[in-house]
Chain A
Amino acid sequence: MTSVARTERPGAVWAAPALLFFGLFGLAPVVIVACLSLTSWNGLGTPEWVGLDNWRALPEDPHVGPGLLTTLALTVLTWATQTPLALMFGAWAAGPQRVRAVAGAVFFLPLLLSTAAIALVWQALLDPNFGVSAQIGPYIGLVDGNVLGDRSLALYAIVFVLLWQFLPFHMLLYQAAARQIPASLYEAAEIDGAGPAQRFRSITVPQLRHTIIASSVLILVGSMTYFETILLLTGGGPGTATRILPLHMYLQGFSAFRMGYASAIAVLLVLIGTGLSLLVVRVSGYARMTSEREGA
């Protein structure tokens, strides 16, 4: 930007309201949560300083280890289901055929429902007495179709509900990106006699690699939000089968009112989340890519 004459430029005061506001509700909480993790606080009254007590209690908590594993399993499973399917369907829906455009419009419908709505609809569908699973269950070896009440199946049921909820969003990203792939690449491949599977593997996937990385980061970081679905569907049960760490934090804080201890779990979550993102960024060079895109 070269400035001719004496162009008046806006000062910091224009950005001040946004910065102050975001500082108070977005950044300060990160510092506060770290401080709270060194206190004992029941949600009312004043937090009391207890030093590292909460942190010492973390390894002793029987829910933390398994919760961490469940979180990891859920994250891996959601990534492994959502990424390939979103890539395939997104690229498919990007095609010029009318039927694909119509199917794409239907694919996006779950985006219109809130997390709470989707969780509650699926809870009704999976109800062992009146739901669809009660009808289908017997045919696939589940006598009462009680998927959500089954220790070994509940997590997979949640992975499926999350797939149903989030696949359209990632499909949307892939569809938009796939439309930017030059047609000439496909035409050349067709002349060379490449079939659809081969075209997908050697043109679509490499051309969409940036989108694949971005979408994967979103899935990894987004696994934090999954606890709302779990809270509504199973409450972390049966037993502790679906009690992922963010849900454990929520229950410790707002059911058991051990806010100090819950803050320690929260700090752990922030560290894991940031660590994961940094790892993906390092491995994939995502930072270079975003700065290219934002022009920052």
Chain B
Amino acid sequence: MPTMTAGPERGRPPAAGAAGSERPRYRRGRRGHRGRPAYGAGIGAAAWLIAVVVPLYYLVVTSFRGRGGYMEDGPLALPDELTLDNYLRVFEIGFLRFLGNSLVVATGAVVLVLAVALPAAFAIVRSRSRIVRVGFVLFLLGLAVPAQAVIIPIYLLITRLHLYDSLAAVVLPTAAFALPVSVVVLTSSLRDVPGSLYEAMALDGAGNLQVFWRLVLPLSRSGVVTVAIFVGLNAWNNFLFPLVLTQSEETRVLPLGLWAFQTQYGTDVPGLMAAVVLSALPVFALYLFGRRHLLGGLAAGFGK
């Protein structure tokens, strides 16, 4: 399976790899038995492991705990009985809609980014046009523009386009701010394609469109997976754009739904934890079944 190689190592070589990625890495069993083990780091890592696990234990257990039990037993006690009531309550207040909205926003952003970034990466790698070269520099500069600092002009643009309080209002800026990283990732994955392949296709009389469909798309598959996960996660977790650009319950996405839940039902902590668990389930599934891809997509933000 060729996509198995798409991980942090394949999608974007780590910095040290630039020095020489062909050098042997250490293999299982070659270290560790010889020399003294790293007790210091091991103890630190164990401590941090506890710091990571305790809140997660709290999150999951509380989401299955009865509301009364939460108040009486204390937050970390083992629950007497587990219940699904919290999850049912969360669904009753329309959580499915928020879930659906988040799915639409994430899918929309991924499709939009890939639709414009793939041809752009193709042009950047193959074109001799001056405009394209300047454009690539603009994208690199764009890496440095923080979305937070330009949220007011974005709000202005969205209201002037009469898109305020729609899902498109969230999709457009989310996609735009994911674009520089995506273009850089796709460009670097296309640079690995040898020029002779393009020339061979040209000799067969293939035009740009055909080259794009039959060569660029198949060969940039690992980059596409990385970008899709990077953009999708960004959109899924985005808080600021929906906060500023939407208002009504109809357009509420998951992170805002969580906040609204906490504001409205502040004392219903088990319900809130159930909502948090639900919001993370799709990402968790991705982690279980495609950990390399997921971590690769996360590390794509490296350039950001």
Contacts A106-B49, A224-B149, A253-B151 given; does A292 touch B35 at CB 8 Å: no
Residues of A within 8 A of B75 (CB): 124-125, 130-132, 135
Contact A292 B29 (CB under 8 A): no
Contact with A along B97-127 (1 / 0, CB 8 A): 0000000000000000001110110111011
Residues of B within 8 A of A239 (CB): none
Question: Is the C-beta of A140 less than 8 angstroms from some C-beta in chain B?
Answer: no
A27 to B141 CA separation, bound complex (whole angstroms) = 9
Contact with B along A106-121 (1 / 0, CB 8 A): 1111111111110011
Contacts A11-B123, A120-B262, A277-B144 given; does A106 touch B199 at CB 8 Å: no
* Residue total for B at the interface (Cβ-Cβ under 8 A): 128
Question: Is the C-beta of A266 less than 8 angstroms from some C-beta in chain B?
Answer: yes
Question: Is the C-beta of A251 less than 8 angstroms from some C-beta in chain B?
Answer: no
Contacts A8-B202, A124-B272, A176-B9 given; does A15 touch B135 at CB 8 Å: yes
Of A56-64, A72-80, A147-155, A181-189, the stretch lying at the interface with chain B is A181-189
Residues of B within 8 A of A246 (CB): 148-149
Contact B299 A25 (CB under 8 A): no
Question: Is the C-beta of A162 less than 8 angstroms from some C-beta in chain B?
Answer: no
**Within A28-70, which residues are at the interface with B (CB < 8 Å)?**
28-30, 32-33, 36, 43
Contacts A15-B120, A117-B258, A270-B146 given; does A96 touch B26 at CB 8 Å: yes
Residues of B within 8 A of A123 (CB): 262
Residues of B within 8 A of A83 (CB): none
Min CB gap A66→B, angstroms: 19
Contacts A11-B127, A135-B75 given; does A120 touch B122 at CB 8 Å: no
Contact A106 B53 (CB under 8 A): yes
Question: Is the C-beta of B251 less than 8 angstroms from some C-beta in chain A?
Answer: no
Contacts A18-B116, A89-B44, A211-B15 given; does A121 touch B273 at CB 8 Å: yes
Contact B259 A21 (CB under 8 A): no
Contact B41 A88 (CB under 8 A): yes
Of B78-86, B217-225, B233-241, the stretch lying at the interface with chain A is B233-241
Q: How many A-B residue pairs have CB under 8 A?
A: 371
Contact A180 B23 (CB under 8 A): yes
Chain A, residue nearest B137 (CB): A296
Residues of A within 8 A of B287 (CB): 108-109, 112
Contact B131 A29 (CB under 8 A): no
A97 to B295 CA separation, bound complex (whole angstroms) = 20
Contact B146 A116 (CB under 8 A): no
Contact B132 A15 (CB under 8 A): yes
Chain A, residue nearest B240 (CB): A228
A184 to B152 CA separation, bound complex (whole angstroms) = 53
Contact B149 A12 (CB under 8 A): no
Min CB gap B40→A, angstroms: 6
Min CB gap B197→A, angstroms: 11
Question: Is the C-beta of B283 less than 8 angstroms from some C-beta in chain A?
Answer: yes
Contact B29 A110 (CB under 8 A): no
Residues of B within 8 A of A141 (CB): none
Contact A114 B41 (CB under 8 A): no
A227 to B149 CA separation, bound complex (whole angstroms) = 11
Contacts A36-B156, A96-B27 given; does A224 touch B146 at CB 8 Å: yes
Contact with A along B245-278 (1 / 0, CB 8 A): 0000000001110110010000001001100100
Contact B208 A124 (CB under 8 A): no
In the A-B complex, list the 5 residue pairs whose CB atoms are closest, starting with the nearest: A183-B26, A25-B176, A114-B237, A210-B15, A116-B255
A-B contact sample (6 more), CB < 8 A, given A9-B208, A135-B75: A14-B127, A33-B152, A96-B28, A132-B54, A208-B16, A218-B302
